[in-house]
C-alpha cells in the first residue's frame, strides 16, 4: 500500500507536486498518467526517497522508504533502466544488489530466467539494447520478491512480445496481492494493463478512479443504434430528441446518441416497438479520455501542422 498525504515538492518558485493525496491499493495495477512536466516522475522519486518533500508524506505500508529495512525486499522500482555502470555485467549487477539487501544469490538466476536474460547474463550492460536494458531493470525490481512495484515506462523500447510479457507479468503480480504502480505514455497498453488510473496535471490529481469509470465519463462515449426500417429510424430519432437525449449523428440506418444511455435508448425502442439490429455502447479510447481530462493541464504544446 502506498499512501500520499498532502505531498508537495517545490523547486524554488516552481511547484512540481502540489498537495497530492492518494491511496494506491494492493491487488490491482494502478496506472499513473500525465503530460510532460505534470509531476509524475517527481512523485515517484518522492515515494522512493530520492527527493525530500517540501511538505506532506509518502509512505509505503505506513513507513517512509528510508525507514524500510532491506528495502529491496519491500519495494521493487524501475525509474531509469540505464542507471547502472555500462561496464558491469548483467549478473554481477544483480548479485551486488542482492548482497546489499541480504537476498540469496540464487534469486539472481531466478529473475534472469523470468525476464529472459539468462543467455546474456555475463554480457556487459553497455552492450544491451534499450529493450534488454528494460528487462534487466525489471529483473532488479523483482529481485527481492517485493510486495510493492513502482515502474516508470517499463515497456519503453520493448517489441510487441516484450510489451505483452510486461503486461502479463504486472497483472500477475497484482493478482497475487501486490501493489503495482505503473507510469506509461502508451495509452493503448495502459488501457489493457491497468485496473485503476490516476491522472496528474500541473502537480495536482485531476482524475482518480477505475479505468471503466474514467472511460465512461468521457464525452466521446456514445450509444450506437442500427434501425433497418426508415420509418422506425425517423420515429426513434424524434422520440430520442423529445427525451432531451443528444443525437450526435445519423446515417441511413444508424443513430448515434451521446453518452452512456444504452438502457434508456433500449427501453425507448422497446416501448415504440422499433426493431433494432444493433444497440451497443461505443466507449472512448483511453487516449481520447486522457486528452479530454488533461486539456487544461498541458505545459508544453505544439501547434497543429507545425
Task: Take residue 178 and report the three cell numbers written for it.
Answer: 501486490
At residue 10, the 3 state secondary structure works out as strand
Phi-psi region of 77 (alpha: psi -120 to 50; beta: other; left: phi over 0): beta
- Average pLDDT of the residues of the chain: 91
CA 7 to each of CA 15, 58, 75: distance values in angstroms, whole numbers, following the listed order: 11, 7, 19
For the entire predicted model, the pTM comes to: 0.83
Q: What pLDDT, in 10s, does the model give residues 226-275?
A: 999 999 999 999 999 999 898 987 888 999 998 888 999 999 999 999 99
Which pLDDT score, from 0 to 100, does residue 303 have?
52
Other residues' Cβ atoms within 10 Å of the Cβ of residue 240: 23
CA dihedral angle for residue 163, residue 193, residue 295, residue 4, rounded to 10 degrees: -110
Query: Helices 130-142 and 160-175 sit at what angle, rounded to 10 degrees?
Result: 10
Please report which helix (H) or strand (E) contains residue 23, including its range: strand 14-24
Domains and CATH numbers, the chain: 2-216 (3.40.50.300), 222-282 (3.30.70)
Q: What pLDDT, in 10s, does the model give residues 36-93?
A: 889 999 999 999 999 999 999 999 999 999 999 899 999 999 998 778 888 899 999 9
Q: What pLDDT, in 10s, does the model give residues 90-146?
A: 999 999 999 999 999 999 999 999 999 999 999 998 899 888 999 999 999 999 999
User: How far apart are the C-alpha atoms of 79 and 95, rounded to whole Å?
Assistant: 19
Q: What pLDDT, in 10s, does the model give residues 278-299?
A: 999 887 788 888 888 888 776 6
Amino acid at each position: 500500500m502506498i499512501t500520499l498525504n498532502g505531498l508537495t515538492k517545490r523547486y524554488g518558485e516552481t511547484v512540481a507536486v502540489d498537495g497530492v493525496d492518494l491511496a494506491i491499493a494492493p491487488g490491482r495495477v494502478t496506472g499513473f498518467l500525465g503530460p510532460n512536466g505534470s509531476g509524475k516522475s517527481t512523485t515517484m522519486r518522492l515515494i522512493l526517497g530520492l527527493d525530500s518533500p517540501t511538505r506532506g508524506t509518502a509512505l509505503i505500508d505506513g513507513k517512509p522508504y528510508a525507514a524500510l529495512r532491506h528495502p529491496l525486499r519491500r519495494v521493487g522500482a524501475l525509474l531509469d533502466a540505464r542507471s547502472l555502470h555500462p561496464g558491469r555485467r548483467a549478473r554481477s549487477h544483480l548479485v551486488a544488489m542482492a548482497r546489499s539487501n541480504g537476498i540469496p544469490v540464487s534469486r539472481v538466476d531466478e529473475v534472469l530466467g523470468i525476464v529472459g536474460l539468462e543467455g546474456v547474463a555475463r554480457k556487459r550492460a553497455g552492450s544491451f539494447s534499450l529493450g534488454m536494458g528494460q528487462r534487466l531493470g525489471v529483473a532488479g525490481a523483482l529481485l527481492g520478491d517485493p510486495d510493492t512495484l513502482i515502474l516508470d515506462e517499463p515497456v519503453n523500447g520493448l517489441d510487441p512480445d516484450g510489451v505483452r510479457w510486461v503486461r502479463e507479468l504486472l497483472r500477475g503480480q497484482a493478482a497475487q496481492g501486490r501493489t503495482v504502480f505503473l507510469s506509461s505514455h502508451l495509452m493503448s497498453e495502459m488501457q489493457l494493463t491497468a485496473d485503476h488510473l490516476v491522472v496528474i496535471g500541473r502537480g495536482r490529481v485531476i482524475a482518480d478512479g477505475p479505468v471503466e469509470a474514467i472511460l465512461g465519463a468521457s464525452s466521446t462515449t456514445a450509444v450506437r443504434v442500427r434501425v433497418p426500417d426508415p420509418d422506425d429510424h425517423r420515429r426513434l430519432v424524434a422520440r430520442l430528441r423529445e427525451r432531451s437525449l443528444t443525437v450526435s449523428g445519423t446515417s441511413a440506418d444508424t443513430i448515434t446518441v451521446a453518452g452512456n444511455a444504452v438502457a434508456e435508448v433500449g427501453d425507448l425502442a422497446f416501448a415504440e416497438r422499433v426493431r433494432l439490429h444493433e444497440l451497443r455502447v461505443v466507449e472512448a479510447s483511453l487516449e481520447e479520455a486522457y486528452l479530454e481530462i488533461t486539456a487544461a493541464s498541458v505545459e508544453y504544446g505544439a501547434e497543429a501542422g507545425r
